[in-house]
Structure 1
């Protein structure tokens, strides 16, 4: 008999709170109840035709002749034991210009005076760009790129912080048919070099420096180290951001200033239309081991889904002020900070700095200053805010403009969801909890604010046009309430087309596991409840097997965060001679100022909390989920997108090799955790088991 536990993930946490769609949104939302029923029926009948209608929201220079072609991974008749490489195309023969759809068409429609971007720098400098301003700046940048020898198909790596220039150069690259790859401004020279080298980029765009946590940090030397010896890099284009506050090494003949070549360029540019399958960008996945994958997204299908999903699940309106807090190098920012909102003609806020600079209330100030209506951020930041403001943002800040909240990245813990909804949204703003990945390009699972009954911690249902299943290792659907593997069982327009330079890796990473079913699988676990709503259980690689019970890290973390003494938690599996694996919980205390520079203090705090938290988890979700070890730490290792890198926690406990840590938001976190573990070992006179 097959042990079902080998193929499913145990569901232990129960969440019964529900929040119905507000009556006013049910009446006025872009997608209301009647619309939703119709869209679901249309998409279920013919999902390709559904996405064709969504594509008609864009401006096409030439219509497509074939809406969709799909060649799945099947046994290769010419290579025994091999699968063919899957290939998708959307809107074949159609031609459009992505930048024109995001900027020019709004100006042509007489909306050039509408603000497109409110930029706020960390030091407090501000500038607003109207759509007409943005058009002129993008045209200048497009002409400058052409003058630097960049053309259709050339790759440009953009190594900048969150600046207006980052948005401008990204749109300009798209405008001329080149391919952009944005890199987090805090990455090391090694990480930048990998992306420049892997793409064969002709141009690197960077800055003299950036403002981070109240300091001017030089970046030009890092950029120089990244391109040293790479003959395919013809120029380095440098934005002056910090000026005399940071040194600027210079290579004559290669390096050029933005103000010399972009600001002086002609502000008129004739945009060419490109085929829908023209590559738009390459975005690299992050991970603790292995070579990052450069996922390739193309133009027509990606923009169709980016634009429609933004319009639908953020209920995009002409008077919205949208703020997605992600770094521009993250796929969330590509889709819901650049292409989605701009294609829909919205006003946006972009902020350069960190949320705690110069004080923890900076985000509340920005929301109030610009009248932000939709605020889209990561659960990890919400949990940080909970430690800073347990009773919610100070009443001195007026957040009444907020009408929708959104979360992205990891699953949001129910208690963090409730704090966000009640304390930030005033109990009136629905929380749009979105599930998607770099590989999917746009949202796949999310509530629609005028339709969906919300459940704290659940991403609810697939959007119209998307179909998802929860299956076991054989690809069979698991019963409602059971946890399994989340798969997508039909194609979608924004899907990554390949891995840059390695199509077989694309096949093996996403399509080979369930090739006999034709399912896409990117590594996440989930469960579907009795109502049909989906609950994400985290990465399957993070599942902990305790005495044969496969436990979700997300559920254990949610139980821990529900305790008033815990602000944030990261859970991982560690070796145990008796149970195979045991649970180690790394927790950040709710009191943000606890033991800041005292590793021994963190250990004493852990000893005080261990029995309390073990008992709490046992009461919340069952004795099997009790952590064996509780380690109190000042911070957790997170990617720039806010995801906790749980495998690094396990590696730290085991004392093993940490692998690739270039995607970490702050690598110094690892040293602080190592110091706590060393102090713990000294205290117990033995290793952490």
Structure 2
């Protein structure tokens, strides 16, 4: 990067206008010496309590930690109701754009009205406090409506990504045993998918069928509706018992009660659902959103994540709605073929704050360079990215070409188990250094630990594990239905002191800013050298005919461990060229890293199996490798 380019980026960052969270507030947050005092200050400043809490933090590793013990809170009052006595009442809360171009706008008042109707309806069906409600739907407004309806009555919502199979859905239903499942007739995200048929198939595989299934009509496709079990969303919302509902009994929840569950990736066979509590989660969703994005009355904010991920929960639903933000919700995913829709949406709704991924920005860059699909977005003031490292060429193109050097860019490190972001530069405040995630956000007790000595690392350029040295309000409470597994998996001991293991590696640079080095389980010790699987993959992709690849390590009787590379070619070659291609790939690895990184086997595949968020499914590849 040129020094001129750097200065332009830093100036935009420093000049970022802050209205909602001022420097005085941030200085106040940073002035506290202990966690309990600062958490108490934040909880009283940013949340509305029906009953004050008596303790900020209680508990230990064995019994689990509780935050804001004794406090009682009405979540919907903090998310929506507080806005109904202000000018925000008639402000757009959700602007939804369907994959087919259909559009809907919900004001804070109309969103509240539909949430109360939905809450009234599911109460009538017998859903009660503590019951699980499975939401298996694409990014549509009704998904958010049911999430908020659950928080109103104290039911636990479980959002499960719409792309997963019936088998996977059945496993989760068996695990959490929901009283109610909500789905759609079809999904048109990335093409048509028969959602209701998939749910019906999952129901045939479960131990205990949910009592009810509510179906949102998305395409109007005729689907099977089982009498007494299946109900249309539009029918229950138009029922006069719920249609005229304007309020429900005001029943606050305990701050430490479970608000929602989120299934996440795991290295154990059983499904793993993290649980999050009302008080701690809502506090950090709100505070971290304000730290990262702030708010102005004229903002239009777009988070391109799927609602089903923690980024979607915290920075597409709860954080921005608590802040009174206008949230843009898009049903589809942006790819090379529909990149024009991204520009259409940004132009039409004057998006000025964007939370996305480097992959999406790369897609836009490719669309501009290869398909000539491009419009500059001068309205963008802030672009936050997360989920992967931003490469220099993507950052430079996005800043100079896409945003005409008008936007601030920040890199965010979020942790699912922590309920949201834990590292990032705060726009308008502090330092900014590209290639890093800066420093831990205020109040986050994150440090770098040596994985061998278990000592805190303060030196630069020394790799370790990012850990939390003490409990944190939004941290997951436990793994549902698996007592003790959360503590065993995440809470570790170093010289008699507990710490929370994130599993993510990092190192400080000479300025004390954090550089992420990847998952520690993707880092290997081979030939006395630490090697990252990602590093080897990047080397292989330097070979001209490689489209994508994945490297795994498997046990080997002779060597103890060996590497296998799966490669997808840009152009399929005749088998007679197979050996030469393998030799060329090996030569590329030798040139980029060295002999120590050479895989024992190089195999060719048509695809690389990936999760919905783009992560390589290495465990599945290991199973395939063993069977081949």
TM-score normalised by length of structure 2: 0.88
> Displacement, 1:585?
5.5
The answer to whether the 8 Å contact 1:361/1:393 transfers is: no
**Could you tell me how far apart the structure 2 residues matched to 1:601 and 1:355 are?**
38
**Could you tell me how far apart the structure 1 residues matched to 2:521 and 2:428 are?**
35
> Displacement, 1:32?
9.0
Is residue 2:225 matched to residue 1:250?
Answer: yes
> Displacement, 1:561?
7.0
Superposition CA RMSD, Å: 3.4
Is residue 2:402 matched to residue 1:402?
Answer: no
> Displacement, 1:457?
3.5
Q: Which residue of 2 aligns with 1:674?
A: none
> Displacement, 1:251?
1.1
List per-residue Cα deviations over 1:609-659 (Å, max 9, x = no partner): 6367436634xxx77557777777665432223323334445444447xxx
List per-residue Cα deviations over 1:463-506 (Å, max 9, x = no partner): 00012222223311244211112111122110111111223001
Is residue 2:421 matched to residue 1:446?
Answer: no
**Could you tell me how far apart the structure 2 residues matched to 1:612 and 1:387 are?**
28
> Displacement, 1:385?
4.4
> Displacement, 1:257?
0.7
Is residue 2:437 matched to residue 1:465?
Answer: no
The answer to whether the 8 Å contact 1:606/1:630 transfers is: no
What is the number of equivalent residue pairs in this alignment? 617
Unaligned runs of 5+ in 2: none
> Displacement, 1:202?
0.6
**Residues 537-548 of structure 1 mapped to structure 2, 5 A cutoff:** 537-548=517-528
- Residue 54 of structure 1, aligned match among 42, 58, 68: 42
> Displacement, 1:384?
4.4
- Residue 283 of structure 1, aligned match among 251, 262, 267: 262
> Displacement, 1:305?
0.4
List per-residue Cα deviations over 1:7-63 (Å, max 9, x = no partner): xxxxxxxxxx966632674473359996597356424x1222222232234342424
**Could you tell me how far apart the structure 2 residues matched to 1:572 and 1:31 are?**
46
Q: Which residue of 2 aligns with 1:644?
A: 616
Q: Which residue of 2 aligns with 1:521?
A: 501
> Displacement, 1:556?
4.8
**Could you tell me how far apart the structure 2 residues matched to 1:218 and 1:436 are?**
32
Q: Which residue of 2 aligns with 1:324?
A: 303
What secondary structure is seen at the aligned counterpart in 1 of 2:297?
coil
List per-residue Cα deviations over 1:120-176 (Å, max 9, x = no partner): 111111111111111111111111111111121111011111101001111111111
- Say if 1:251 and 1:366 are closer, same or farther in 2 by CA, change over 3 A: same
The answer to whether the 8 Å contact 1:160/1:205 transfers is: yes
Q: Which residue of 1 aligns with 2:18?
A: 29
**Could you tell me how far apart the structure 1 residues matched to 2:57 and 2:435 are?**
36
- Say if 1:237 and 1:427 are closer, same or farther in 2 by CA, change over 3 A: same
The answer to whether the 8 Å contact 1:406/1:434 transfers is: yes
Q: Which residue of 2 aligns with 1:163?
A: 140
> Displacement, 1:353?
1.5
**Residues 189-588 of structure 1 mapped to structure 2, 5 A cutoff:** 189-214=166-191, 216-228=192-204, 230-231=207-208, 233-244=210-221, 247-264=222-239, 265=242, 266-270=244-248, 271-287=250-266, 289-356=268-335, 359-390=338-369, 394-395=373-374, 397-471=375-449, 472-478=451-457, 479-512=459-492, 514=494, 516-556=496-536, 570-573=550-553
Between 1 and 2, higher relative CO (CA 8 Å, sep ≥ 6) is seen in 1
Q: Which residue of 2 aligns with 1:9?
A: none
Q: Which residue of 2 aligns with 1:78?
A: none
The answer to whether the 8 Å contact 2:259/2:277 transfers is: yes
**Could you tell me how far apart the structure 2 residues matched to 1:486 and 1:97 are?**
34
> Displacement, 1:108?
1.7
What secondary structure is seen at the aligned counterpart in 1 of 2:79?
helix
The answer to whether the 8 Å contact 2:275/2:478 transfers is: yes
What secondary structure is seen at the aligned counterpart in 1 of 2:422?
coil
Q: Which residue of 1 aligns with 2:27?
A: 38
The answer to whether the 8 Å contact 1:36/1:451 transfers is: no
The answer to whether the 8 Å contact 2:466/2:506 transfers is: yes
**Could you tell me how far apart the structure 2 residues matched to 1:480 and 1:358 are?**
43
The answer to whether the 8 Å contact 1:280/1:299 transfers is: yes
